Amino acid sequence: MADVFVVRHGQTDWNVARRFQGHTDIALNANGLRQVQQLAVRLAREPLAAIYASDLVRAHSTALASATLHGLPVHAMADLRERHFGVFEGLTASEIEQRYPEWYRRWISREPDFAAHGGESLEGVSTRVLATLCQIARRHRGRAVLVVTHGGALDLIYRHVIGVDLKAARTWETPNAAINQLHYDNGTWRILTWADEEHLS
């Protein structure tokens, strides 16, 4: 068994503008930098054994703030990255609809096997992220770990744990720098806390 704190990176300017980031390497904005410091202070009381993060700068920077307080390294993993959105990256939803109307229709329909040109499908990224999360939990049995990833990855983790189909509309939040605590025991996940933002001001 293991307790896994799974956190979305702090805010970026593209989050504010609602632009799809995917694998595009966007840094935290000023608010995001404040958020990750507040997150680090909140997690300072947790007995973290290890810290993992997507290797994209917005996630790695978020993890580094907590790693500094715990005296731990950040293990960067490309498999914790956000979904690759291909030609959608850098665009807003309205821009995608205007430029790629047929692909937009398939994307908002949440077709599990659909991938925009150069990107990943929901099925593909779900398999990647969940396998990596299970690997981390098994590696740290009986311990607590921090995993910093992305909003889309968190959405897929939530769906897996709760048992929600990939095609279902999202009715839950994945806020920047919020705390989501999961418990892993012998292949089974359970949510202890989701979207806790009490540490953020």
Task: Report d(CA 15, CA 10) in Å as an integer.
Answer: 9
Q: Which of 23, 60, 82, 84 is catalytic?
A: 82
Is 15 inside any structural domain? yes
Model-level pTM? 0.96
Q: Which candidate, 156, 152, 147, places its Cα nearest to that of 180?
A: 147
**Active-site annotation holds for 9:** yes
Q: Which of 9, 23, 60, 84 is catalytic?
A: 9
**Averaged pLDDT for residues 81-106:** 97
- Per-residue pLDDT band for 104 (boundaries 50, 70, 90) equals very high
Task: Name the average pLDDT for the chain.
Answer: 97
- Per-residue pLDDT band for 1 (boundaries 50, 70, 90) equals confident
Q: Which domain holds residue 118?
A: 2-196
Q: Which candidate, 134, 148, 125, places its Cα nearest to that of 189?
A: 134
C-beta of residue 180 within 8 angstroms of C-beta of residue 195: yes
Is 201 inside any structural domain? no
Using a pLDDT cut of 90, give the percent of the chain over it.
98
- Using the predicted structure, report yes or no on whether residue 163 has a pLDDT greater than 90: yes
Is 32 inside any structural domain? yes
Is 88 inside any structural domain? yes
The per-residue pLDDT for 65 is 96
**pLDDT tens sequence across 118-160:** 999 999 999 999 999 999 999 999 999 999 999 999 999 999 9
**Active-site annotation holds for 197:** no
- Using the predicted structure, report yes or no on whether residue 88 has a pLDDT greater than 90: yes
In CATH, what number is assigned to the domain containing residue 130?
A: 3.40.50.1240
Domain count, the chain: 1
- Using the predicted structure, report yes or no on whether residue 199 has a pLDDT greater than 90: yes
The per-residue pLDDT for 201 is 79
The per-residue pLDDT for 82 is 98
- Per-residue pLDDT band for 103 (boundaries 50, 70, 90) equals very high
**pLDDT tens sequence across 26-67:** 999 999 999 999 999 999 999 999 999 999 999 999 999 999
**HSE-CB of 156 using CA atoms within 13 angstroms:** 24
